Chain A
Amino acid sequence: MAVNWKVKISDFFRSPSRFVSSKSADTFLAELLRELRDDRVTNNTKVYLLSPLCEQAALLCPTVSIGEETVLELLSVFAHCPVPWVEFRSSLLITLTSVLICTSCVSNKIHVCGDFLDLLLQIVQDTSNLHGDSVLLLRAIACECLQELETCCPGLLSQRLELIGGLWTKETSKLHQPYARLNTLVLKNCVYQLAMDPGSGDDYLKLLVGENTVVNWEADQRLAQVDKDSAILSSLIMGHMGTVPILQTGRDCKDLRSVLSTTLENSFLLSPLCQAAVLHRLMEVVAMVPVVRPSIFRAQLLRMLGTSEVCLLHSTLLMKCAYTDSLFSTDDEGFILRRLVVLSQHPLLSKPEKLFFMDYMLHFPENRPISCGNNESPPVLLTSQLACTLAPTLLNDYATMLARFNLLLVVCQEEGEKDGEEGRGLVYLYEHLGLLLNIMIRGHSREIAATFFRAVFLFLVSFCHMERYATSIAEKLCTLYHHQTHLAPHILNLAEQSSDLFPECNWSARLCRALQGVVIEAPPAQFTLTDLGWHLKVLARVAEEGQIPQQTTLQLLSKIIFTPSVCLTSNWRLGNSVLQLCRRLMTHPSLDSLFTSLANVLQHLICYYGDADIQDRARLYYSLLTTLSKEKLTGIIKQGLREEGQNIKHSLSCIMADTERLTSVLTIQQTEKPVFRLVELKYPEPQERNEIILESDSSPSEEQDSAGLEAYRAQFKDPCFGSQITLHYQLNHTMHNLSCFDQVFSIHLHFSLMDDTCEELCDFNVPCLFRERRSPVVKLVLKPRLPVPITLSCSAIFNTLNGLSWYTSLPDMHVLFQQTFLPLVVPTTWGTAVKLGVFNDIWDEISREEKADYATTLFCGQLQAEELGSIVEKQLLTFIISDSANQAELKCVFFIPPQFHILLKIISEEDAVHFNVVTDNWRLLPHISSFIGNLLMSLPEKVTSHP
């Protein structure tokens, strides 16, 4: 059983949403809860069982009512759980809290929340130490639960502030930490509420010393308002303090002040992570109450500025951000900045910490900021001299190198703008690029290549306008390309991004012109096939630049194409690159001068290129080129290019080269969740019912009834006879769906079997499925090999309106035992008497002969005659063979493909109904038993069986 759960839960976590939408998940939650109540299950297993509910509460409890029921169940599990099982009890509390919050039970003020809150408060206050140390953990967890409830529903505990404050003051064990956190949070939320409520003013005192009343779920309207406002969930300390509500109070705020200073004094005793969080809350309180000056924090500052804990120092920096010059002088500011420079390279700190501090400097909250906005800009006090201590070196790891490079760049840029001259820092950075370039030219790893191009891009962003650097970098990149042709995608990416981000510099055109020079000057005889591919790609990019003359490019192209070995390669990719270049040339402004040579190239491709697809496309281009006017040609090709960028239309690959867009069109995307499901059609149209219509000319007549059984058996000589059942399903959308799947086309359904109980199924095609239209019917023809329930898994491939193809899997389909039932398969010409004869013959044979597979059994159910009537009417009518001679006995036959029978004689006795059953396959007995059991399930009486 335990193994089973392990598999199930890991299945669940692999893809929770898919698991939940599959059929087996319907009962998942119920089974989980049942297992949790089972005393035989171990403590550890139960903790594990809670994990799906704890992590995916909203998914497993989609509605408030399910959430409420689940909470009630869990509360009863908690009540019956032995006290020493602390870990399980703690996990239960956490799960309960998660379910309550995620199902919105708390915000909807469901009654059970009140009970849970009382339970938590009771645990928190239980200072008796009867159950040993472990009870401390439970109290700590209960405290965390309260904290989480208050975080998600601010104001929930505002009436309990005094109680919590009291607990915190008295506590000396480590529990003071959760109490301190809870206390500051509730305090902050109280102050926020009061600040939002203009009438409150000095009343905060009442709150701090307020009466310890029970939380009234209906009464407090103000709480409800705050709860709806998600602003209170946000941090109030974030750089611009304009949104902080202000609590107007009298001069004296002794009580509040003393609470704050006691918390601050004791913060030293908390773990650094909790200290940071508590300080953050206190900062928010102080920001809302102007009477309390930020200087209250001063006593802690030195300790926190000297700390090696990044989170503690960060909360101090947030103070700088929140209070600026009301807590930090200009000298302090200079000190903090120098400290940040030091920490960004401190040998005792880890790489992520250093990166964080470097990033912080670029968003430094200055007391007197000059620029505003979110862009990276160094503070005024960060001079290039200071920043030069963070100069990048080759021995840095790549992230650090880039961060340092970027920092020094922005500082140099800022100073350059001020002084109008280039500083030493800039020279250094440029030399550093040169060092990287040397490494690149000699050969390199993948990561260095990416880092180098990123550094170049950063440099260009800041200094592309400086002619000297812009030219020189383009030249250097050409040298690099000359040595390492395979870096073409990096170089093209750089050209693309720079023309995108700073087109005004026209740097990418400059680079392209230089690259063209490199390719043209190289001797074509020495090109390898790979080099050639890259050169063509580069030239295609160059040809996009209208002002660059293309004669030389075309000369080279002709030279290449007329080399016999090139056309003989029949390389499709190479052909594609050639065509891509041709296409760009066709849209070039100087097309008139290129026309003849280009036409020659295309003509040559048509005649001699070794790949038929390339030949065809060359033919198309040739006809376009020779028949269309220049404007039309440009229009058509540019339109194709435009559509590459916008994801609108399903374009044909013959107009397009291999681009990202094309790749995505040609790739089958996978949906995250199932998009469709198949639902069994309970009442198909009459002509679609399970029927086997036979046209038999060798059928026995009414008189030949004695030969009935042989004739019946003779039919099975044809192996296909009676071997299949037809089921009808409706293809529907699942509940949660994206609108892009509302209209889908060409759905190709594929079915696969979990085991070999059945023959392979044919695929099924549905032309389209619209959400607002009637669902199409899917007819499944099954050929069972064994008479058992069948499980099918199903997947679908389909197209959406935007031209993309998708793959989705559907929830598994379970074909029940009774769905495989067929009536007795006989030709239509056979009358009832013949069928009755066959029935009796089979019955007698099974009852008489002692074959190993034969079995006889009896089921009894307490049924009234009318109840039996309704069952027969609803479920068995198609299978009944009427027997006018014996009205009291109902005869019923189920044929189960491939060749099995279940025969029933149903006799109504005084107080019970007897189901006499015979079958020619005893393995069917358990299925028959559950089938008959299900038939009677709606009735309270028990069914007994006498095999």
Chain B
Amino acid sequence: MSFRALWIITHDKGENASVRFSRRFATVEHRAKKLGGSLYVAVPEDSTVLRLLLTELSLSDPHKPFVLLRDDCRRCPKTPAFELRVGPGQETLWPVVVITDGSLIVACLGLVDVPLEPRPPLANLLCVSQGITFLLGLQNFLLGSGGKVDNELMASRLETLPSVLLQVCPFGTPLDVPSVGALAMYSVPITAGNQKQPVWKTGFHRGRAVVNTALTETVRCMQYGDPTKQDTWDVYGTVMCKCEVEGVLPDVTVTLTLPPNGSPLQDILVHHCVTSLDSSILTACSVDNDSSSFSGPYKFPFSPPLEPFRLCGYTSQVPVPPILGSYQLKEEENHLLVSVTLKLHESVKNSFEYCEAHLPFFNRPQMGSVDIKVSSGHVDVSKEKNLVAWVLGQKFPRSRDVSMEGRITFSGSTAGPADPICTDLTAYVKLYFKVPETTLSGCYVDQHSVQVYSSAKPKITTSRELQSKDYFIWNSTSTAPICQLLL
């Protein structure tokens, strides 16, 4: 459960790659040598590791169509751990856990503390899951809240990284994930009493107790408008909490409640500060047809950390998607005839923060003239002339039906973006919307059900919202890129 080495790499689509930070853990390497015996392979220099990693990640030689080491069909990168072929023979470094995000690559080489031959499955190596946890934390640390590479931020985070690693991974065995707060980990005041402090609590609150929960449900959808293809949609939710409660290990309980016609919550995941979990909550599972029809209430007793955290996450199967749509494209001479209709389901609150339908066009020249009529809202054309955005605003009309008709010519001189899937008439409408104070499953946090075991009366606020993600309506006049699984 230790790492032999750690690397942080940045690159630009495989080019200008450089190792921005690397660390070798001498004592772990010492153990690796002892454990590995004749099978031991030393960690090579950074430049070598960089080259090998880029090959494994299919990022090397981006302009060459086929490189045997990179593209061999027998090598199948389907696990989070890679094998770097260091020497000409069987000399390999394994397992190198790698996490990539855009131009950032973070990687660590785990210590194999079981016999190396025959090659043990990843499942037997705790260092792999520890590596994933640690690297995901490291990635968050380097990217900050933006989630995108920001060179200045990253440079400053890289500068503090040695001090952070001193606390969270001094010898190659990870103690915690790197975080901005890690620097102050041991500067928390010591309190009197016998209760041990939770390590994941960065400080203590004094004053009135405040509990804030925000429930966000996200809906994903694929609609094909094709009777031979089954539409699919799913819903998942998260409860974010921010609790300011006095005491070393205060008890708080948040309960999720469903209305009588609500859709049960399934596949529940909880934060590690949740102290206990009822088995009926845990066994509700989306892949199990016989699972019990437990429909709450869902109680989550926990002792909160100081900063905001994700208390729990779940999925749910709702009977209908919130917006039903159809999309039809016809190609005529040099233009496309476009027709879109959308219908908001009656159970969904007709009050949006925003609602937009985007019609991107790939593998075509830029748009020339756009002649489109809509029954509600208005239409924008993107600056790059490859996307039509239908802005529906805050409300659907009373009938809850909207439609769009029109024609688009593609006569621009420059080519638009390419996409491997959306060729010919294969195309989609993607919906972006957010509805405050509602959820599809019906789930909510009842303000009165939040229990805080402290002397003063706590201030409790709750909120909920529904948003879309990957909400696709495919053109029904062409084949959608899916094959049907008949169950």
Using CB atoms and an 8 Å cutoff, list the residues of chain A in contact with chain B.
Answer: 13-16, 47-48, 51, 54-58, 87, 90-91, 94, 97-98, 101-102, 129, 133-134, 136-137, 140-141, 144, 147-148, 151-152, 171-178, 181, 230, 233-235, 237-239, 266, 268-277, 280, 302-303, 305-315, 317-318, 321, 335, 338-339, 341-343, 346-353, 355-356, 358-360, 362-365, 373-374, 385-386, 388-389, 391, 393-395, 398-399, 402-403, 406, 424-425, 428, 431-432, 434-435, 439, 442-450, 453-454, 456-458, 486, 489-490, 493-494, 497, 501, 647, 660, 672
How many angstroms from the CA of A307 to the CA of B302 in the assembled complex? 13
Scan residues 184-228 of chain B and give those whose CB is less than 8 A from a CB of chain A. 185-191, 193-200, 218, 220
Quick check: which of B174-182, B341-349, B382-390 contacts chain A, the rest being far away?
B174-182
Binary contact readout B231-242 vs A (1 if CB under 8 angstroms, 0 otherwise): 000101010000
Using known A-B contacts A144-B170, A311-B126, A338-B285, determine if residue A230 contacts B76 with beta carbons closer than 8 Å.
Answer: no
Contact call B275/A303, Cβ cutoff below 8 A: yes
The listed residue (B123, B249, B278) touching A363 by CB distance below 8 A is B123
A523 to chain B, nearest CB (A): 25
B161 to chain A, nearest CB (A): 12
Contact call A308/B270, Cβ cutoff below 8 A: yes
Contact call A490/B73, Cβ cutoff below 8 A: yes
B54 to chain A, nearest CB (A): 14
8 intermolecular pairs with C-beta atoms under 8 Å apart: A98-B26, A133-B186, A174-B186, A338-B288, A348-B238, A363-B122, A435-B481, A450-B70
Residues of B within 8 A of A270 (CB): 199
Contact call B120/A374, Cβ cutoff below 8 A: yes
Contact call B281/A306, Cβ cutoff below 8 A: yes
- Asked if B130 is at the interface of the complex by the 8 Å CB criterion, the answer is yes
Residues of A within 8 A of B449 (CB): none
Interface residues contributed by chain B, number (CB under 8 Å): 124
Residues of B within 8 A of A453 (CB): 71, 73
Contact call A406/B481, Cβ cutoff below 8 A: no
Residues of A within 8 A of B79 (CB): 355-356, 359, 403
Contact call B483/A306, Cβ cutoff below 8 A: no
Using known A-B contacts A311-B126, A394-B482, A456-B73, determine if residue A151 contacts B268 with beta carbons closer than 8 Å.
Answer: no
Contact call B274/A356, Cβ cutoff below 8 A: no
Residues of A within 8 A of B218 (CB): 347
Contact call B66/A489, Cβ cutoff below 8 A: yes
How many angstroms from the CA of A307 to the CA of B309 in the assembled complex? 14
Contact call A497/B190, Cβ cutoff below 8 A: no
Contact call B132/A356, Cβ cutoff below 8 A: yes
Contact call A174/B197, Cβ cutoff below 8 A: yes
Interface of A (DSSP majority class): helix
- Asked if B74 is at the interface of the complex by the 8 Å CB criterion, the answer is yes
How many angstroms from the CA of A490 to the CA of B75 in the assembled complex? 13
Quick check: which of B27-35, B251-259, B451-459 contacts chain A, the rest being far away?
B27-35
Contact call A399/B78, Cβ cutoff below 8 A: yes
Binary contact readout B60-83 vs A (1 if CB under 8 angstroms, 0 otherwise): 001001101011111111111000
The listed residue (A238, A439, A458, A493) touching B71 by CB distance below 8 A is A493
Closest residue on chain B to residue A448 by CB atoms? B420
Closest residue on chain B to residue A348 by CB atoms? B313
A124 to chain B, nearest CB (A): 14
Residues of A within 8 A of B420 (CB): 439, 442-445, 448
Residues of A within 8 A of B269 (CB): 306-308, 346, 348-349
Closest residue on chain A to residue B79 by CB atoms? A359
The listed residue (B162, B268, B470, B484) touching A47 by CB distance below 8 A is B162
Contact call B126/A277, Cβ cutoff below 8 A: yes
Closest residue on chain B to residue A804 by CB atoms? B88
Residues of A within 8 A of B27 (CB): 97-98, 101-102, 148, 151-152
The listed residue (B285, B287, B483) touching A432 by CB distance below 8 A is B483
Closest residue on chain A to residue B289 by CB atoms? A385
The 10 closest A-B pairs by CB, nearest first: A314-B129, A352-B80, A363-B121, A431-B483, A308-B269, A403-B78, A489-B66, A136-B186, A348-B313, A238-B114
Contact call B123/A317, Cβ cutoff below 8 A: yes
Contact call B74/A176, Cβ cutoff below 8 A: no
Contact call B121/A359, Cβ cutoff below 8 A: yes
- Asked if B462 is at the interface of the complex by the 8 Å CB criterion, the answer is no
Residues of B within 8 A of A55 (CB): 23-26
A801 to chain B, nearest CB (A): 15
Residues of B within 8 A of A428 (CB): 483-485
The listed residue (B68, B113, B274, B310) touching A235 by CB distance below 8 A is B113
The listed residue (B26, B167, B286) touching A137 by CB distance below 8 A is B167
Residues of B within 8 A of A312 (CB): 272
Extra pairs beyond A140-B186, A310-B132 (16, CB < 8 Å):
A55-B26, A137-B186, A151-B27, A151-B31, A172-B191, A270-B199, A315-B126, A321-B123, A347-B236, A350-B99, A356-B132, A428-B483, A445-B420, A458-B76, A489-B66, A672-B48
How many angstroms from the CA of A660 to the CA of B113 in the assembled complex? 36
Residues of B within 8 A of A353 (CB): 80, 132, 136
Residues of B within 8 A of A272 (CB): 133, 272
Contact call B166/A87, Cβ cutoff below 8 A: yes
Using known A-B contacts A306-B268, A399-B78, determine if residue A269 contacts B58 with beta carbons closer than 8 Å.
Answer: no
Residues of B within 8 A of A391 (CB): 485
Contact call B73/A497, Cβ cutoff below 8 A: yes
Binary contact readout B99-122 vs A (1 if CB under 8 angstroms, 0 otherwise): 100000000000001110011111
How many angstroms from the CA of A477 to the CA of B371 in the assembled complex? 43
Contact call B310/A342, Cβ cutoff below 8 A: no
Contact call B31/A302, Cβ cutoff below 8 A: no
Closest residue on chain A to residue B285 by CB atoms? A338
Contact call A308/B78, Cβ cutoff below 8 A: no
- Asked if B171 is at the interface of the complex by the 8 Å CB criterion, the answer is yes
How many angstroms from the CA of A141 to the CA of B313 in the assembled complex? 36
Residues of A within 8 A of B123 (CB): 317, 321, 359-360, 363-365
Contact call B126/A359, Cβ cutoff below 8 A: no
Closest residue on chain B to residue A59 by CB atoms? B26
Residues of A within 8 A of B482 (CB): 393-394, 435
Contact call B315/A269, Cβ cutoff below 8 A: no
The listed residue (A129, A347, A359) touching B315 by CB distance below 8 A is A347
Contact call B26/A133, Cβ cutoff below 8 A: no
B50 to chain A, nearest CB (A): 12
Contact call A273/B176, Cβ cutoff below 8 A: yes
A481 to chain B, nearest CB (A): 14
B456 to chain A, nearest CB (A): 24
Residues of A within 8 A of B24 (CB): 55-56
Residues of B within 8 A of A181 (CB): 175
Contact call B267/A346, Cβ cutoff below 8 A: yes
The listed residue (A178, A305, A352) touching B136 by CB distance below 8 A is A352
Contact call A173/B190, Cβ cutoff below 8 A: yes
| Residue of A54, A235, A238 with most partner-chain B CB within 10 A | A235
Residues of A within 8 A of B320 (CB): none
How many angstroms from the CA of A919 to the CA of B228 in the assembled complex? 101
The listed residue (B46, B72, B136) touching A13 by CB distance below 8 A is B46
Contact call A94/B171, Cβ cutoff below 8 A: yes
| Residue of B133, B167, B271 with most partner-chain A CB within 10 A | B133
Contact call B177/A457, Cβ cutoff below 8 A: no
Binary contact readout B295-333 vs A (1 if CB under 8 angstroms, 0 otherwise): 000000000000000100101000000000000000000
- Asked if B261 is at the interface of the complex by the 8 Å CB criterion, the answer is no
Contact call B128/A356, Cβ cutoff below 8 A: yes
B130 to chain A, nearest CB (A): 5
Closest residue on chain B to residue A384 by CB atoms? B487
Contact call B487/A388, Cβ cutoff below 8 A: yes
Residues of B within 8 A of A342 (CB): 266-267, 285-287
B226 to chain A, nearest CB (A): 15
How many angstroms from the CA of A342 to the CA of B115 in the assembled complex? 31
A490 to chain B, nearest CB (A): 6
B127 to chain A, nearest CB (A): 10
- Asked if B463 is at the interface of the complex by the 8 Å CB criterion, the answer is no
A441 to chain B, nearest CB (A): 10
Residues of A within 8 A of B98 (CB): 352
How many angstroms from the CA of A84 to the CA of B127 in the assembled complex? 35
Closest residue on chain A to residue B421 by CB atoms? A394
B300 to chain A, nearest CB (A): 10
